[in-house]
Amino acid sequence: MKRRHVLNLATGSVVSLGVGSLMAQAKPLRLVVPFPPGGATDITARALQEPLGKALGLSVIVENKAGAGGSVGMSEVAKATPDGMTLGVATLSTHGVNPAVYKKLPYDPIKDFAPVTELVKAPGVLVVNSKLPVNSLDEFIKYLKANPGKVSYASPGNGTIGHMWGELFKSTTNTFMVHIPYRGAGPAITDVIGGQVQVYFDQVASSLPHIQGGRLKALAVAWGSRLDVLKEIPTYGEKTLFANNDASWFGLVAPAGTPLPIVSRIQQAVSTALKDTALVEKLKGQGLFASDSKPEEFAVQIKKEIDKMQRIAKFAKIALD
């Protein structure tokens, strides 16, 4: 008989169901991060690693499986045994953008996964080069309309969330900017700071040091209210750009077929972990805000994001092989 591990709903430990199950200590829970170490997704997973393990009574290891915009890691999660012992950190990119822009993906964002819960939300921010002659969102929009095609915005690459946010901004403000794709966020933001490109749509976590250092100017944030770290900067919503006001997010998914009691147990453990004050403050210091949701709520959210990103991709004619 096939050997399996399942989560004990009462204690959170791994117990046997079936003949010959392995001992709990022989198999730690794998938390797959589909991006390289050091980024916000990786920071979130590693911050959650110990509290989640404690809540489940398990050893948790973080594995970075980067490549193809998160597709490599997500594909591995989709193919894993659906026993609750392999989870993936899904993002707006892997479960919203990628399905909308790639003609072929090695995974189906709906059919291949069991949504578990959202982990954090990550506010977005519109930043511009410090020498661009604008100091507010209204001035920026006015400047773009007076200089169509003379302003460019950088992104980490074609089909990335930065690209999608830029095209969304163009569509909601009826403005035009030239898109300059880079190979990664590092060189993109470096050139915005240097003035080779004027605009960047980023997460607050990445741009905040440059904003505070005066190297970039923030014009708007994607969040429900003004942020404590950027109190002078309005939200898109304040300017009635409600479509632009959605933050990015990271969440947990399991392979499709993972039994619902196991999914529910993991979600409950995450909810418990995210109530830890030290963890919440640690995440907040990185510009990340703890949030959790029920599996069915997360499933609805993923479908909503795919629909939204498909509309943006259609508007901007974004289609990648």
Model pLDDT, residue 175: 96
Comparing 16-20, 134-138, 249-253, 257-261, the range with the smallest average pLDDT is 16-20
The answer on 159 and 90 residing in a single domain is no
Q: In terms of residue numbers, what domain contains 154? A: 124-244
Order of strands across the sheet with 289-290?
60-64, 29-33, 86-91, 248-255, 113-122, 289-290
Q: Is the pLDDT of residue 21 over 70?
A: no
User: Does any domain span residue 321?
Assistant: no
Model pLDDT, residue 67: 84
The answer on 133 and 117 residing in a single domain is no
User: Does any domain span residue 301?
Assistant: yes
User: Does any domain span residue 287?
Assistant: yes
The answer on 274 and 295 residing in a single domain is yes
pLDDT band (50, 70, 90) for residue 178: very high
CATH number of the structural domain spanning residue 232:
3.40.190.10
Asked if residues 100 and 313 have their Cβ atoms less than 8 Å apart, the reply is yes
pLDDT band (50, 70, 90) for residue 38: confident
Cβ neighbours for 19, distance < 8 A, ≥ 6 positions apart = 1
The answer on 28 and 85 residing in a single domain is yes
What is the number of other CB atoms lying within 10 angstroms of the CB of residue 281? Answer: 10
> What is the number of residues in the chain?
321
Half-sphere exposure of 67 (CA within 13 A, CB side): 10
Instruction: State the total domains in the chain.
Output: 2
Give the tens place of pLDDT for each residue, 264-318.
Answer: 999 999 999 999 999 998 888 778 899 989 999 999 999 999 999 999 999 899 9
Q: Is the pLDDT of residue 26 over 60?
A: no
Cβ neighbours for 136, distance < 8 A, ≥ 6 positions apart = 219
Model pLDDT, residue 45: 94
Choosing from 217, 244, 271, the residue where a domain stops is 244
The answer on 41 and 111 residing in a single domain is yes
CATH number of the structural domain spanning residue 72:
3.40.190.150
Burial class (CB in 10 A: 0-12, 13-18, 19+), 273: buried
User: Does any domain span residue 149?
Assistant: yes
User: Does any domain span residue 312?
Assistant: yes
The answer on 80 and 20 residing in a single domain is yes
The answer on 251 and 287 residing in a single domain is yes
Choosing from 193, 209, 244, the residue where a domain stops is 244
Query: What proportion of the chain, given as a percentage, has pLDDT over 90?
Result: 75
- CA dist 270 and 48 (Å) reads 8
Model pLDDT, residue 23: 31
Give the tens place of pLDDT for each residue, 79-128.
Answer: 999 999 999 999 999 999 999 999 899 999 999 999 999 999 999 999 99
What global pTM score does this model have? 0.83
User: Does any domain span residue 138?
Assistant: yes
The answer on 143 and 197 residing in a single domain is yes
pLDDT band (50, 70, 90) for residue 27: confident
State the average pLDDT over residues 125-152. 96
